[in-house]
Structure 1
Amino acid sequence: MPFHNYRLTVVWYNVKVGVAKIRFSNTTETHILKTNVTNLCVRVLGERNQNLKNAKVTIILPRVTLTLLTDDNGYALFKQIPSGNWTLNIEYKNLREETVANTATPDCLIVKFKVFIEFYNFILPRDLVYNLAIGIISLWILLIVAIILRYRVGR
């Protein structure tokens, strides 16, 4: 490269993440360019704050999508992505959620699914579990009352 001033533009995942004016004056010169990239942490939890392992987390960048699966603790960490607001699609079994993540937020983005209990690969939300419990208890109470009434009428 001839010694000269250069304008350098850095593009990462089809997003401009850095621009600098650099002057080269000798052949062994090194320049450090600061780019606007960051890590994005996503944590996927259930209704009881239980970790949801193997949730599929997809970030949509311009003309590029990146997908990770959550680890045992429900975390997915996208490393060195362009800073900004990005759409995330999160899937856990047959449940789906879409949200927008802002990389300027230092905390891990938490996404909660209506997963209270998993039973043989069936997902049961809290309201369904409570309704089933109330229904079963009510059925038992009615059965006991019917048996008592039947016993009293039979005498």
Structure 2
Amino acid sequence: MAIILIGFMGAGKTSVGKLLGKKTEKNFIDLDYEISKRLQMPISEFFVEYGEEKFREIEHELLLEYHQSSGVISTGGGCIETVACRELLKQQTQVIYLQAEFNTLWNRIIDDQLNIRPLAQSNESKDLKRIYQKRLEFYEDCAAHTIATDHLTTEDVVKQILQTIDW
């Protein structure tokens, strides 16, 4: 069974997922990367051309495809926007919510020049905060475990996950 990382953009899902995969010698699957590969275009371009709803459909298809793997899966921050994704996540026992306060996440997002996030590009801090607040309940509802990442290094988060999960 996979370990599935959920959380808002900037929570550290990809960084933690890569290191966790390496430490456990398990496959790391970044859903956003896999989606981009399947679409043969950056997610930001797909959002502009086809919209968020179509993107969420493809995201759900890939979550269905990978959720039973024995690897580490990093979801996109908005994966939980889709009812079908939430229902699937709630059935899993190894869903880890990487939680952080909005100000921490905002600072990480604006400091990360390599990762282009469509919703961060098109929204100001106050608008992104509304999205964050809307999603909080969904993250909490889907998570089997929650780890507050505000003051932890990637290594610290991985250590906590390894102490928390039954793998």
Bin for the TM-score computed over the shorter chain? under 0.3
User: Which protein is richer in strand relative to its size?
Assistant: 1
- Higher Cα radius of gyration: 1
Q: TM-score, normalised by structure 2?
A: 0.20
- Structure number with the bigger relative contact order (C-alpha 8 A, sep ≥ 6) is 2
**In proportion to residue count, which structure has more helix?**
2
**TM-score scaled by structure 1?**
0.21
